[in-house]
Amino acid sequence: MASHPYRDRDAMRRCVEAIARRVSQPWTLMEVCGGQTHAILRHGLDRLLAPAGIALIHGPGCPVCVTPTARIDQAIALARTPGVILCSFGDMLRVPGSGEDLSTARARGARVQVVYSPLDAVRLAQRQPQDQVVFFAVGFETTAPATALAVLQAQALGLANFSLLVAHVRVPPAVAALLATPNHRIQALLAAGHVCAVMGLAEYAPLVRRFRLPVVATGFEPVDILQGVLRAVDQLEGGQARLENAYARAVTDGGKGNAQRLLETVFEPATRPWRGLGEIPNGALSLRPAWQAFDAEARFPLDQMPESSHPDCQAAAVLTGRLTPTECPAFGRRCRPEHPLGAPMVSAEGACAAYFHYRAPMEEG
């Protein structure tokens, strides 16, 4: 059977050799996608590139990981409210809030329903009009259009018992915040191909001009990632800073117009905290005023919870590329998938989970 063309070992080797021939000094690149982080660890791309002097550091490319504890606490509070069912994707259930997670709250009687799409929550609200159904809307620009579609569907059905707890966030403002941080290590960016597929490339052009560094839209297979690295290194070695598309089979300059129109109809940029990064101007999405009837924060008396994290958790440093997971003293000891101190160890796209799964963790001491 022919190998997958984007996982072909010979193609990977050729990319690595081309990068090594081009490199004349060490370079540090950040990938801004948890899926890319897992691919890098799974295929050992960081180790293949290390002899050439290329270091890959990991950014805040995991929407579950950057959802603040305060938002999770609000979700738990809603799930405990009589007459309310909180609907959530399964990967949110074990992400720690300030005290417990949604899974623990459900075991203690809170009404938490796992769904596979926002439309599942709409259908639940339609079937159970006696209950208030709240969808915990988490994700980047890739999942937000589906949430917007659910709102439009709920309006068309006249559902007065459906609402959203919105935790959608936007990637380019977070990248800008990272690049504006003094003493960051980032010399080039591998932009998340799935976000670029929806939103196009235009939002990254101002970052290239402002920060004078290469940005390359990159896919998720090992050859995709290595080709993105090669394009970034070509620019770095040539003293250039351009926006490039190394994922042309999925990404176009303009992105997906229908998805963008859905977003613009229902949501608008907002400023809310990211876990580990703090408040990022326009780094989140909120419902437009015309859709406030579907906002759980307006419908229910939710407290504004303080943000907190476990004192031993170094998630903020991991999410901003200042620390690799294995450099955290708690990694593999006090922090493990069965007992995570922070979101990056439990999320399917978390960097700590990737290191724990693909690199031998340290034994508990």
Segment 249-305, tens digit of pLDDT: 999 999 999 999 999 999 999 999 998 788 999 999 999 999 999 999 999 988 777
Q: What is the pLDDT of residue 98?
A: 87
Note the CATH number of domain 9-63+172-245.
3.40.50.11750
CATH homologous superfamily of 64-168+255-299: HypD, alpha/beta domain 2 (3.40.50.11740)
- pLDDT, position 133: 98
What number is the average pLDDT over the span 145-161? 98
Q: Assess whether pLDDT exceeds 60 at residue 27.
A: yes
Among the residue ranges 17-21, 124-128, 130-134, 335-339, the one predicted with the least confidence is 335-339
Closest alpha carbon to 85 in 118, 119, 125: 125
Report whether pLDDT(332) > 80: yes
Q: Write out the DSSP string of 233-246.
A: HHHHHTT---EEES
Nearest to 280 by CA among 200, 199, 169, 192: 169
Same fold, 9-63+172-245 and 64-168+255-299: yes
Kindly tell me if the per-residue pLDDT of 118 is higher than 70: yes
Residue 359: per-residue pLDDT:
85
Burial environment of residue 215 by CB neighbours within 10 A (0 to 12, 13 to 18, 19 or more) = buried
Domain ranges of the chain: 9-63+172-245, 64-168+255-299, 315-358
Give the least confident one: 83-97, 198-212, 303-317: 303-317
Out of 188-202, 204-218, 303-317, 341-355, least confident range: 303-317
